[in-house]
Amino acid sequence: RKKVTTRTLARMKQNKEPIAMITAYDYPTAKIAEQAGAEIILVGDSLGMVVLGYDSTIPVTLQDMVHHTKAVARAAKSAMVIADLPFMTAHLSKDEVLRAAGRLMQEAGAYGVKMEGGSEILANVTTLTSAGIPVMGHLGLTPQSVNQIGGYLVQGKDVGTARHLLAEAKRLEEAGSFAIVLECVPEELAQLIAESLTIPVIGIGAGRFCDGQVLVFHDVLGIGGDWHPSFVKVYQQAGKVMQRGIEDYVQEVKRRAFPDEQHVSHLSSDLIAVLYG
Ligand code: KIV
Ligand code: NA
């Protein structure tokens, strides 16, 4: 498969070909996503909740993102790797946001970055796109603002906020974003935004009419928490398979069933004779 670029995605939108995006946080998960044919692998700051055990994305640092993006980039041969700018980074000075995005691309190997927000970060979006850094926007429910929003709630449910989201999406497009993630908005609003923009709109909890979909890797495979958002579809109960596998291993160790003949090596009988005298 050829390398996925911003042009690939633009063409897919034109041809009404859905874009598949999924998160990954390390080498093996990224390899699975790559081999499954996802166009975009997102090293999301959901890393904090999914892999690092925090209860929001707020504690995730740039160093965390660099570390995990490096592992993902080593596995992604053709998929586009996008890394999240962590909490607050999109609001820092022009120099600092450039340096952060620069590290994710140059040091960690990301293709581009994703940043949460609209008007309030627009100047920094322009700063990055002017520097040749591909920027993916993120509107609707922006988890880095969870404490301000007061929970993980559907956004754009009234005319005012719906119109505001549409306007913000257009501003991000004008600032040079190559795509936008739209999280937790009503299907009809997501459809209007997708139809109003020329750049791809990737939905999560945003209905059927976006230009693509994104989900969290561990949610799709039923790994980790018992709880997941209602928009998630669990395609496999891999968490249960993993649990059973490790339980079997522990039990076999305890009753000395592992290792068995198949998993050991032997000395020659001559050497055994010498060693045992
Ligand atoms: O961090 C993340 O996983 C995300 C996606 C859910 C869009 O931002
Ligand atoms: Na994120």
pLDDT of residue 10: 98
pLDDT of residue 224: 85
Query: Which residue positions in the chain have pLDDT lower than 50?
Result: none
User: Ligand 2 centroid vs 143 CA: distance in angstroms?
Assistant: 7
- Average predicted confidence (pLDDT) for the chain: 97
Residue-range domain boundaries for the chain: 6-236, 241-275
pLDDT of residue 69: 99
pTM, 2 dp: 0.97
Nearby residues for ligand 2 (ion, Cβ within 5 Å): 44-45, 84
Tokens of 131: 């520097």
The Cβ of residue 270 has, within 10 Å, a number of other Cβ atoms equal to 8
Active-site residue (options: 39, 183, 188, 261): 183
User: Ligand 1 centroid vs 142 CA: distance in angstroms?
Assistant: 9
For residues 69-103, b (16+ Cβ closer than 10 Å) or e, as one string? bbbbbebbeebbbbbbbbbebbbeeeeebbebbeb
The verdict on domain 6-236 having CATH code 3.30.420.110 is no
> Could you tell which of 139, 204, 231 is best to mutate to test the pocket of ligand 1, judged by most ligand atoms within 8 Å of the CB?
204
